[in-house]
Amino acid sequence: MNHLVAPSILAADFANLQRDIELINNSEADLIHVDVMDGMFVPNISLGLPVVKAVYKHAKKPLDVHLMIVQPERYLKDFKEAGAASITVHYEACPNLHRTVQVIKELGCKACVAINPHTTVALLEDIILDLDMVLIMSVNPGFGGQKFIDNTYKKLADIKALKRRYNPELLIEVDGGVDETNIAKLIDAGANVFVAGNAVFASADPSATIASLKHPGILSRS
């Protein structure tokens, strides 16, 4: 399949959020990545349900909601009602992960599990069959603009092997430090959904950057 690009609005201008949503709407982006942080699971607070609802009102692309919160099972229905098309919960935040994943699917959302850089891919073996997508964190969650962690390539090799064995349709998302310099290598490593925050919104021309993430190898900038 062709890979998907998911700009993260964490790096957008929150005072001009509608403008930045329109920018994504009119770009080659496939999804809108929404980072929800609670100051507990991660040492940062970003945005919550009212902002997700406001984004959904203007969004013409599916919302890919990444919950970096403790006990995310408390809020799954709320995020579905706020407009989430897919809901990502963290392996590290879910003691009853199988149940949490079933609830996400019963709500009609795509179910995704994220793992932090220190969490071994092998821990996903008994849940992978139930998932639509796995998110490999390529930075420690909590902040945009961090440096990509190279061990991600090893984790992609491991998840690719599990995918081949158990769930060939599985999507593999990479989040953190993705940009025009590493996306081609990440595609080769087996990833097919790419979150990009700073690479898009800190660039001089965010739409052109999204286009070049969508078509790596082709010079989309004039």
Chain positions 195 to 214 lying near ligand 5RP, rule: CB under 6 A, are 195-199
Is 150 annotated in the active site?
Answer: no
72 binds ligand 5RP (CB under 6 A): no
Binding track, positions 81-110, relative to ligand 5RP; x by CB under 6 A: ------------------------------
Residues in Cβ contact with 50 at an 8 Å cutoff, skipping those fewer than 6 apart: none
From 16-24, 117-125, 134-142, 204-212, span contacting ligand 5RP (CB under 6 A)? 134-142
Q: At what angle do helices 17-25 and 49-58 cross, to 10 degrees?
A: 50
106: helix, strand or coil: helix
User: Across the chain, which distance is largest between two alpha carbons, in Å?
Assistant: 50
Is 175 annotated in the active site?
Answer: yes
From 55-63, 116-124, 151-159, 190-198, span contacting ligand 5RP (CB under 6 A)? 190-198
In the bound state with Fe ion, the residue whose beta carbon lies nearer, of 47 and 166, is 47
Residues composing the chain? 222
In the bound state with ligand 5RP, the residue whose beta carbon lies nearer, of 140 and 166, is 140
66 binds Fe ion (CB under 5 A): yes
Q: Which of 188, 150, 190, 158 is nearest to 172 (CA)?
A: 190
Alpha carbon 60 to its chain centroid, in Å, reads 17
Residues in Cβ contact with 24 at an 8 Å cutoff, skipping those fewer than 6 apart: 7, 9, 32, 59, 61, 210
Q: Any binding-site annotation on 176?
A: yes
User: Which position among 109, 139, 174, 193 is part of the footprint of ligand 5RP (CB under 6 A)?
Assistant: 139
Residues of the shown chain interacting with Fe ion in the complex, contacts defined by CB under 5 A: 35, 66, 175
Instruction: Give catalytic residue positions.
Output: 35, 175
